[in-house]
Amino acid sequence: MELKSNIPSGPMDQKWEKHRFDLKLVNPANKRKYTVLVVGTGLAGASAAASLAELGYNVKVFCFQDSPRRAHSIAAQGGINAAKNYCNDGDSVHRLFYDTVKGGDYRAREANVHRLAEISVSIIDQCVAQGVPFAREYGGLLANRSFGGTQVSRTFYARGQTGQQLLLGAYQAMMRQVGLGKVQLLPRTEMLDLVLVNGAARGVVTRHLVTGKLEVHTGDAVCLATGGYGNVFFLSTNAKGSNVTAAWRAARRGALFANPCFTQIHPTCIPVSGDHQSKLTLMSESLRNDGRIWVPTKNGDTRSPSSIPEAERDYYLERRYPSFGNLVPRDVASRAAKSACDEGRGVGPGGKGVYLDFGDAVQRLGQKAIAEKYGNLFDMYQRITDENPYKVPMRIYPAIHYTMGGLWVDYNLMSNIPGLYVLGEANFSDHGANRLGASALMQGLADGYFIIPYTIGDYLAKTKLDKVAPDHAECNRVKQDVSERLQKLMAGKGKRTVDSIHRELGKLLWDKCGMARNAAGLKEALGKLPDLREEFWKNVTIPGSGESFNQSLERAGRVADFLEFAEVLLTDAHDRNESCGGHFREEYQSPEGEAQRDDVNFAHVAAWEYRGPGEKPVLHKEPLTFEIVHPTQRSYK
């Protein structure tokens, strides 16, 4: 299989412009004849549904939550990047492009990233017009801040709830179209499979989570905007429901899964406190603007932080990376925390934590100023840990947060399955091996508001699509598959709960494929996976029935998919013999412990074709070329 990225020719900064002209248009009167299925109502899904409906397409949109407004995007805290250069500090489209390619450790497509940087500007305009209450200066203009990993202030934010406000903007735009009859909303409806007719994506099989009813929805194209797969690790900062099911079901039908081993670990999360823990909580990275990260210089120093004198504190990020200090990118900060803890200098229960100290900032700016900036985060921290971060330094530890990998898509965001588009975190496209802070929101909205409306039209205009009714033979066949699988799940009356197996899977991955990985560990994990899968299918128990609201069944389906998907993730991590971005292979590091890329052998996108459980997935490579930002060793010293 040849992977055609369909990157337009021409100079980098004119590709998108040119491409937009080359894309075919659908006559306005014909748009209402098409139906697009959008799975997911996060930033990517909601913005796509709204924009497509505004153009005149009929849209059906699905989410598993009770309301589309609850999609996981709601939880994003810190902000959204845009190359507005409102701060006059040297930002530009080119710089955002450059930072993102470099930040992604040279594993993203330049053309995609450049387009993202161009579009970033319009996103802010769009959101402001929708009434997103971004932070403002006293003069009434928009405020910006600098955000993890950049030296310019290009991040727009709405207190600590940027994702919420952006999502509500997109959600409201979508709900307007629901009111106008252009979007049909199907909440509490989970996509469980993809229907291909003549090789093209034409429908989805869904289960209504309240009634358990299986339904087939057909259309002319399918957009998956179903978010990331971070929950394969069980403990992550993702919402409990986030899952890989939709993407994985597409992969089982032939879509390629790209770069699954590129997972991001966020450095500033609240450490794990016990076995009962159900998820991890992120403290916005913006905290690193004013907080200083340190551990005691002595191993196993259990004194209270206030009684450790300055001289016995190691501000290791400031020491190791003098020019970026506490603001180094996420992967670098996370690994540094891990090595500090591995050396035995970690703090808190189990030594799995480092201090994030606001003592200096409170002295310099006053408690009031700090409260104004981070009040809600401090409150959240206190609620969870019962400690007052104004007085005692916060304890933080890295946690799985975001997944750069995802379904492979071309420049038009179409997967290798015709008519199957993938948007937002669910695709692999723009962040390479590491995503910069405040760039996921940007990408999700770019995909939904400004890319898919153009590219999907091109496909619909060029492709002859016969009508597919929900009782089409292929639909029935897929529905039958889904139904059998659900029955098989329900039949399990063993001794293990779904969560206990999910936890076990998560621990295996975190230990062997977390912040640092090595071939031996990955092999070991790959060896254990089939047993765990077998354990699941043999020994899981799901009470209740499949014809009702059954949360155990929902979770079981997701965990079953994680168990299959994990194999591809581990294989990718095992076969990528280099360290880059979020993928740190212990064998490939410099003497100072920095990640060492291998641009000769691994400057490619690894797109995996799934061949069934237990079979080694097949690798397809899309080579990456760098015309403008030439790969160098990333240095934040």
Partner 1 sequence: MKITLHVWRQKGPSDAGRMATYHHEAHADMSFLEMLDTLNEGLTLKGEEPVAFDSDCREGICGMCGIVINGIPHGPRKSTTTCQLHMREFKDGDHITLEPFRAAAFPIVRDLAVDRAAFDRVIQDGGFVSVNTGSCQDANCIPVPKKASDLAMDAAQCIGCGACVASCPNASAMLFVSAKVSHLGLLPQGQPERGDRALRMVHRMDAEGFGNCTNTRECEASCPKDIGVEFIARMNRDFTLSSALERQEKAGGGGG
Question: Hey, which residues are catalytic here?
Answer: 330
Q: Residue 177's closest CA among 80, 73, 41, 25?
A: 41
What whole-number distance in Å separates Cα of residue 368 and Cα of residue 374?
10
**Between residues 124 and 606, which has the closer beta carbon with respect to partner 1?**
124
Q: Which of 7, 34, 36, 47 binds partner 1 (CB under 8 A)?
A: 47
- The yes or no reply on residue 183 touching ligand FAD (CB under 6 A) is no
> Quick one: angle between helices 498-513 and 551-575, nearest 10?
20
**Between residues 47 and 434, which has the closer beta carbon with respect to partner 1?**
47
Size of the site for partner 1 (CB under 8 A): 85
From residue 365 to residue 394, what is the string marking binding to ligand FAD with x (rule CB under 6 A)? Answer: ------------------------------
Q: Which of residues 501-530 bind partner 1 (CB under 8 A)?
A: none
Query: What Å distances lie between residue 404 and 50, 74, 305, 399, 581, CA to CA?
Result: 25, 19, 36, 15, 10
- The yes or no reply on residue 329 touching ligand FAD (CB under 6 A) is no
Q: Residue 126 binds which one of ligand FAD, partner 1, none, with CB within 5 to 8 A depending on kind?
A: partner 1
Q: Which of 316, 402, 510, 565 binds ligand FAD (CB under 6 A)?
A: 402
| Closest approach of partner 1 to the CB of residue 586, in Å | 32
Strand, helix or coil for residue 203: strand
Backbone phi, psi, residue 153, to 5°: -95, 100
Q: Which of 163, 305, 432, 582 binds ligand FAD (CB under 6 A)?
A: 163
Q: Which of 162, 218, 259, 268 binds ligand FAD (CB under 6 A)?
A: 162
Q: Residue 138 binds which one of partner 1, ligand FAD, none, with CB within 5 to 8 A depending on kind?
A: partner 1
- The yes or no reply on residue 628 touching partner 1 (CB under 8 A) is no
Q: Residue 153's closest CA among 103, 203, 88?
A: 88
Kind and range of the H or E element at 183?
strand 183-186
Single out the segment in contact with partner 1 by CB under 8 A; choices: 28-36, 67-75, 330-338, 480-488: 67-75
Three-class DSSP labels, 247-261: HHHHHHCCCCEECCC
From residue 140 to residue 169, what is the string marking binding to partner 1 with x (rule CB under 8 A)? Answer: xxx---------------xx-x-xxx--x-
What whole-number distance in Å separates Cα of residue 170 and Cα of residue 45?
9
Q: Which of residues 233-252 bind ligand FAD (CB under 6 A)?
A: 237-238, 242-243, 245-246
- The yes or no reply on residue 450 touching partner 1 (CB under 8 A) is yes
Residue 379 has which token pair?
A: 């409150």
Q: Which of 29, 129, 469, 473 binds partner 1 (CB under 8 A)?
A: 129
Terminal Cα distance for the chain, rounded: 42
Query: What is the distance of C-alpha 446 from the center of its chain?
Result: 15
| Closest approach of ligand FAD to the CB of residue 318, in Å | 23
From residue 425 to residue 464, what is the string marking binding to ligand FAD with x (rule CB under 6 A)? Answer: xx-----------xxxx--x--------------------
Query: What is the distance of C-alpha 303 from the center of its chain?
Result: 38
What whole-number distance in Å separates Cα of residue 616 and Cα of residue 611?
7
Kind and range of the H or E element at 215?
strand 214-218
Q: Which of 7, 127, 420, 569 binds partner 1 (CB under 8 A)?
A: 127
Q: What's the order of all strands across the beta sheet hosting 189-197?
A: 189-197, 200-208, 214-218
- The yes or no reply on residue 176 touching partner 1 (CB under 8 A) is yes
Q: Which of residues 547-566 bind partner 1 (CB under 8 A)?
A: 548-549, 551-552
Residue 618 has which token pair?
A: 């097949």
Burial of 558 (0-12, 13-18, 19+ CB in 10 A): buried
Q: What's the order of all strands across the beta sheet hosting 263-269?
A: 263-269, 394-403, 354-357, 292-296, 313-314
Q: Which of residues 241-260 bind partner 1 (CB under 8 A)?
A: 241
Residue 257 has which token pair?
A: 């899964």
- The yes or no reply on residue 281 touching partner 1 (CB under 8 A) is yes
CB half-sphere exposure, 435, CA atoms < 13 A:
30
- The yes or no reply on residue 539 touching partner 1 (CB under 8 A) is no
**Between residues 367 and 497, which has the closer beta carbon with respect to partner 1?**
497
Percent helix, strand, coil in the chain, to 5, is 40, 15, 40
- The yes or no reply on residue 54 touching partner 1 (CB under 8 A) is yes
| Bridging pattern class, strands 183-186 and 58-62 | parallel
- The yes or no reply on residue 495 touching partner 1 (CB under 8 A) is yes
Residue 346 has which token pair?
A: 């970690």
Q: Which of 26, 201, 225, 559 binds ligand FAD (CB under 6 A)?
A: 225
According to DSSP H, which parts of 40-179 are helical?
43-55, 93-103, 110-130, 162-179
What whole-number distance in Å separates Cα of residue 144 and Cα of residue 79?
9
- The yes or no reply on residue 72 touching ligand FAD (CB under 6 A) is yes
Q: Residue 54 binds which one of partner 1, ligand FAD, none, with CB within 5 to 8 A depending on kind?
A: partner 1
Strand, helix or coil for residue 194: strand
What whole-number distance in Å separates Cα of residue 326 and Cα of residue 288?
6
**Between residues 67 and 306, which has the closer beta carbon with respect to ligand FAD?**
67
- The yes or no reply on residue 42 touching ligand FAD (CB under 6 A) is yes
Single out the segment in contact with ligand FAD by CB under 6 A; choices: 12-20, 64-72, 104-112, 354-362: 64-72
Q: Which of residues 182-201 bind partner 1 (CB under 8 A)?
A: 185, 187
What whole-number distance in Å separates Cα of residue 114 and Cα of residue 16?
9
| Closest approach of ligand FAD to the CB of residue 176, in Å | 18
Q: Residue 398 binds which one of ligand FAD, partner 1, none, with CB within 5 to 8 A depending on kind?
A: none
| Closest approach of ligand FAD to the CB of residue 408, in Å | 16
What whole-number distance in Å separates Cα of residue 500 and Cα of residue 353?
25
Q: Residue 226 binds which one of ligand FAD, partner 1, none, with CB within 5 to 8 A depending on kind?
A: ligand FAD
- The yes or no reply on residue 203 touching ligand FAD (CB under 6 A) is no
Q: Which of residues 360-399 bind partner 1 (CB under 8 A)?
A: 379-380, 383-384, 386
Q: Residue 574 binds which one of partner 1, ligand FAD, none, with CB within 5 to 8 A depending on kind?
A: none
274-301: string of b/e by CB count within 10 Å (b at 16+)? eeeeebbbbbbbbbbbbbbbbbbeeeeb
Q: Residue 617's closest CA among 101, 258, 128?
A: 258
Residue 453 has which token pair?
A: 């409306």
Q: Which of 14, 67, 577, 590 binds partner 1 (CB under 8 A)?
A: 67
- The yes or no reply on residue 399 touching ligand FAD (CB under 6 A) is no
- The yes or no reply on residue 126 touching partner 1 (CB under 8 A) is yes
State the amino acid at position 206 in one-letter form. T
Q: Which of 39, 44, 178, 422 binds partner 1 (CB under 8 A)?
A: 178
- Per CB under 6 A, residues contacting ligand FAD are 39-45, 62-65, 71-73, 75-80, 162-163, 190-191, 225-228, 237-238, 242-243, 245-246, 282, 401-402, 424-426, 438-441, 444
